[in-house]
Structure 1
Amino acid sequence: MTGNAALTTPESTAPQSPPEEPSVTVSGSPGETRRRAGALLALARFETRELLFQVQILLFFALDLVYVVLQMTLQEGMDDYPVLNQVDRATQPEPLLFAIAVLVCVNAAVLRSRKHGTTQQFDVLAMEPWRRTVAHVLSVVPYAALTALLVAAEYLWEALKPGAIGHGSLGELAIAPLTIMLAGIAGVLLARLVPSGFAPLVFVIAFYMAMVVASDAAAEGKWWGWLSPLVFPAYFPGDPVPADLLGRPAGWHAVYLLGLCAVLACVALLRSGGRTRAVKVVTAVALATTAAGVVGQLPHDKAALEAARRAASETPEKVQSCTEYDGSKYCSFPEWSGVRDDWSAVVDRVQSLAGGKAATTALTVRQRIDTSGGVEADTYIEPATTPGQVTVGTRWGGNRVPEFAVGVATVLVTGTEKSVLQDMCDARMVTIMWLVLGNDPSPAKTFQNVRLDDSTEGSGLLLTPTDGIGMTANQSTVVNELLERPHAEVAARVKEHWTELTSAATTTAQAARLLGVEQPKEAEKCGE
């Protein structure tokens, strides 16, 4: 006992306080969650910047940007009247090369550690592999957003024009940015499933071939064709049709693409070990969204769509509205109602030079399409047989204006469009061209543009909204001479001799004499 007491010290007998426990943050607490989210976003920002330094990303985005700018600046007359249900779809194929660049570069970013032999070092980091996968997915979002801005700028440029026709579809406009997003996520998933630098090349080739096949299937009315992320129109850009005749489930297709992006992202997370409850819930929601998009794209009431297309082609008067100006009626599909004033201006200009009853004849200008060979196909519209009816198409501006003027003049001179099927080897052709060119601000240029051969000499074919009209070399010579004479003199002679100038019995040479120009010396060669 004495020995034990000798070993006792004040420090040993004093009461010992428990050691201070280190500060520990419980996993899943708000503070820890914020720190993890901040680290994940920091990594996503880093990967976004790394992608920005890739030559492929910069090059193909720059090409896409230059293409859009050129589309905006280098435009023709018809671009003053853009049909917006074609403009929205025109934005979809443009960023395809950029999408491929995003896929390849994101795939390389995910495989960067494997390439440099630093994969093992990630095992000592606090961030789990599936969170790093989330960061790679998030790095694609800014590039999808840039594409969306580019699409919006291109569409608004056309939509804000005074002559814009119809309206676009938000679903169609969403396809391009969703395609970029899908490409980036596919790059992440490929890196997790097949960690090889050759995988993106093989995938792109196979995917493109499948997309072409699917687009053809969609054009043929097969529902599974819409499982392709991008569906190329079969006939576009043919003549536009009303939006309700397209039969494109654009909204549901955008939902399908959005769900597909989420599904691929979830598969990549699950492959990376992210089997948390949240990931499983998001996967279930993504699958449900994709399934809803697929079901929404299934054909619904296809018979009604076909009936509507036939009605628009065969009996357009049943689905059109009309406006009356100075006794003439102008009938169009609802989306083209704003262009009727322009049609009326052309009719007034042409009819003001006519004589006899034609000067006051009431015309019916009717918009016509032909969907028998498919919507937006390059089809032939039969000339109308109804007296006083003039056909106008769904494109306007540029060369379509003088072509419509030829159609108006033909009906004023001959009574119907049906006569266009025959070559008018007589005075009527000269009269028609005077009506078209007499009040035109640039008659020589218009004369050239309205002919198929872009010439004002020799024989040629005049373009109209329906059929062409053959024009002989002698008729071209007489028309050119008329344009050199004083306008008032020729206009007075046309009205004075209107009956003779609109008769099939009056030859071209006789028409020249009546109009006070030199008669052609060569014999008329009809059917040239």
Structure 2
Amino acid sequence: MSPTPATPDAPVTPAGPPATPLDEAPATGSGQPGERRRFRAVLALARFETHDLLTQIQILFFFALCLGLVVLQMVRQEGMDDYPILNMVDRDTQTVPPLFALAVLVCANAAALRSRKYGTVHQFDVLAMDSWRRTLAHILSVVPFAALTALLVLARYTREALKPGAIGHGSLGELVVGPLTVLLAGVVGVLLARLLPSSFTPILFVIVFYLAVVVASELAGQGKGWAWQWLSPVSLDSVPSGDPVPSDLLGRPAAWHALYLLGLCAVVACAALLLSGGRTRAVKAATALALATTMAGVIGQVPRDTAALEEARKVASETPLKVQSCTKYDGSTYCSFPEWNGVRDDWSGVVRRARSLAGGTAATRPLTIRQRIDVTGGVEQDSSLTALTTPGEVTVGTHWGGNRVPEFAVGVATVLVTGTEEATTGELCGDARAVTIMWLALGADPTPLATFRDVRLDDSDKGSAVILAPTSGFSLGADQTTVVRELLDRPRAEITERVKTHWTELTSASTTTAQAAKLLGVPVPKEAEKCEE
């Protein structure tokens, strides 16, 4: 029997994860067809890495968390949510993605360090795929997660934009910040793996980045310059708050910031490729283009023509009629900033209901509804509007829905009863006009007692309180509260007839609360009797 010929021993490889589908792909051919094959190989590896990332518990947990937060935002139903301000909604979409970005950064870094963890780095020298191409595959593997974030952002914004009461319009530059933040985090994770290959590097990076953001936020809050605000991936004032303002008064370079983020993603990606040995002309050209794009974004964010912006804000605050359009409903004039033109029908409905309960000339008196803002202390600040002195003019703000509706009704009723917003409408021992105002504001409301509590600062229907209005509001005494509550418990037709019959007395500053109660046919409160004494 002839001896069995010896066979060479199979190469022994260290224990590790299953080899990717491309670790042994031959690099046959040359020229353009070979480049296409290599590019297809990179894409195939990127798909493999994406699938691997999808199995990571951190990715799944944080994506589920972000999805839950977005769904919670979408199903949340409050009064003002029925009239979303789209130039605030687009920025609100930037608050959730940073959570997902954190998970993508850590997991992308771990994926790029897998070969070091399992001791297979030395095998790369015998593989067909260059090291920088493998890095490119890791970079491409995080793109689908940016796309998932974009779907969440799109769903959140579309939900609000399709509401019949949606106000204004959003900005594409603001909407892409969330997805670009996730993409940037993933690319930074790959770069850190090539720059400082350690599993602790992402944690240290996140801590340092967080501290830098906190410091930058403090400096930006002190007005130390635009750079602290806009060179951060997420603008430090991206969370909308305060009273809404027209989009052209925001002064936010959203499009330039998005371009800056896109260029920054490309710069970080090119840096990772160069560190991995990618010295090809294509990589060098991409690096130059990325740097140019980033610099263009930085320069575009530099404040320009701030004097014109400040002048526009001053005009909108002090002489809004110059930048508003007006229309007429039922003899009254409604003036608003262009983005709020669609809400004027709702304003007219409130005015119509209040006038239907009024008597005398107030039932037909024309009013001027003026939308007002105050940005003298900065945009989107909670400001207190001063009462108008012009007879027949009523203030309405830029928020609408919820409690803003009865507050506006109070403002309308105040002008119908007293003639102007600045007139004194009642003290703790006040006159009958405060009772008349509250009846006009609440008498036609479907849930008057609940709305009565909402429009009071103390959210109750007993005792004295401050009544909220678009401007300064007024004080309602305990005696007046008792009378109003009695009126709201009576049949609407009965009280309306009495109000119209005794309109002159009920709108006189000399008529007391006790006298008003008698005229309206309700018991006189003991507080009112003590007040008269």
Q: Residues 218 and 420 (structure 1 numbering): CA distance in 2 closer, same or farther, change over 3 Å? A: farther
The CA distance in 2 between the partners of 1:483 and 1:224, in whole Å, is 56
What residue number does 1:77 align with?
Answer: 79
Task: Kindly state the Cα deviation for residue 524 of structure 1 after the two structures are TM-superposed.
Answer: 6.2
The CA distance in 2 between the partners of 1:260 and 1:512, in whole Å, is 70
User: Percent same amino acid at aligned positions?
Assistant: 69
TM (norm. structure 2) is: 0.91
The CA distance in 2 between the partners of 1:37 and 1:120, in whole Å, is 23
1:216–1:234: 8 Å Cα contact kept in structure 2? no
The CA distance in 2 between the partners of 1:420 and 1:392, in whole Å, is 19
Out of 45, 49, 52, which is 1:50 matched to? 52
1:31 and 2:33 are equivalent in the alignment: yes
| Structure of greater Rg | 1
1:237 and 2:230 are equivalent in the alignment: no
Please give the residue correspondences for 1:167-246 in structure 2 after superposition, counting only pairs within 5 Å. Answer: 167-215=169-217, 220=223, 222-225=225-228, 226-233=230-237, 236-246=240-250
The CA distance in 1 between the partners of 2:317 and 2:205, in whole Å, is 42
Unmatched 5+ stretches in structure 2: 1-25
1:411 and 2:415 are equivalent in the alignment: yes
1:478 and 2:480 are equivalent in the alignment: no
Q: Residues 524 and 129 (structure 1 numbering): CA distance in 2 closer, same or farther, change over 3 Å? A: farther
TM (norm. structure 1) is: 0.92
Structure 1, residues 95-130: CA drift from partner, whole Å, max 9, x if none? 111101100110111111111222112221111110
Please give the residue correspondences for 1:125-136 in structure 2 after superposition, counting only pairs within 5 Å. Answer: 125-136=127-138
Q: Residues 235 and 429 (structure 1 numbering): CA distance in 2 closer, same or farther, change over 3 Å? A: farther
Q: Which amino acid aligns with 2:97?
A: P
Q: Which amino acid aligns with 2:253?
A: P
What residue number does 1:279 align with?
Answer: 283
The CA distance in 2 between the partners of 1:522 and 1:445, in whole Å, is 23
2:92–2:239: 8 Å Cα contact kept in structure 1? no
Structure 1, residues 420-445: CA drift from partner, whole Å, max 9, x if none? 58637111111011101111111111
Q: Give the superposed CA RMSD.
A: 1.7
Task: Kindly state the Cα deviation for residue 72 of structure 1 after the two structures are TM-superposed.
Answer: 1.1
What residue number does 2:161 align with?
Answer: 159
Q: Which amino acid aligns with 1:465?
A: P
Task: Kindly state the Cα deviation for residue 35 of structure 1 after the two structures are TM-superposed.
Answer: 2.0
Task: Kindly state the Cα deviation for residue 211 of structure 1 after the two structures are TM-superposed.
Answer: 2.8
1:299 and 2:303 are equivalent in the alignment: yes
The CA distance in 2 between the partners of 1:476 and 1:235, in whole Å, is 38
Aligned residue pairs total 503
Task: Kindly state the Cα deviation for residue 480 of structure 1 after the two structures are TM-superposed.
Answer: 1.2
Unmatched 5+ stretches in structure 1: 1-23
Give the SS at the match of 1:418.
coil
2:456–2:467: 8 Å Cα contact kept in structure 1? yes
What residue number does 1:7 align with?
Answer: none
1:351 and 2:355 are equivalent in the alignment: yes
Q: Which amino acid aligns with 1:436?
A: A
The CA distance in 2 between the partners of 1:421 and 1:443, in whole Å, is 20
What residue number does 2:15 align with?
Answer: none
Q: Residues 27 and 406 (structure 1 numbering): CA distance in 2 closer, same or farther, change over 3 Å? A: same
Q: Which amino acid aligns with 1:247?
A: G
Q: Residues 434 and 385 (structure 1 numbering): CA distance in 2 closer, same or farther, change over 3 Å? A: same
1:519 and 2:521 are equivalent in the alignment: no
1:391–1:407: 8 Å Cα contact kept in structure 2? yes
What residue number does 1:267 align with?
Answer: 271
Task: Kindly state the Cα deviation for residue 234 of structure 1 after the two structures are TM-superposed.
Answer: 7.3
1:387 and 2:399 are equivalent in the alignment: no
The CA distance in 2 between the partners of 1:387 and 1:80, in whole Å, is 32
1:215–1:231: 8 Å Cα contact kept in structure 2? no
Please give the residue correspondences for 1:139-154 in structure 2 after superposition, counting only pairs within 5 Å. Answer: 139-154=141-156
The CA distance in 2 between the partners of 1:389 and 1:458, in whole Å, is 30
Q: Residues 421 and 104 (structure 1 numbering): CA distance in 2 closer, same or farther, change over 3 Å? A: farther
Q: Residues 216 and 392 (structure 1 numbering): CA distance in 2 closer, same or farther, change over 3 Å? A: farther
Give the SS at the match of 2:395.
strand
Q: Residues 64 and 26 (structure 1 numbering): CA distance in 2 closer, same or farther, change over 3 Å? A: closer
Please give the residue correspondences for 1:497-516 in structure 2 after superposition, counting only pairs within 5 Å. Answer: 497-516=502-521
Q: Which amino acid aligns with 2:191?
A: L
Give the SS at the match of 2:427.
coil
Out of 104, 107, 110, which is 1:105 matched to? 107
Q: Which amino acid aligns with 1:222?
A: G
Task: Kindly state the Cα deviation for residue 208 of structure 1 after the two structures are TM-superposed.
Answer: 2.3
Task: Kindly state the Cα deviation for residue 215 of structure 1 after the two structures are TM-superposed.
Answer: 4.7
Task: Kindly state the Cα deviation for residue 180 of structure 1 after the two structures are TM-superposed.
Answer: 0.4
The CA distance in 2 between the partners of 1:170 and 1:335, in whole Å, is 17
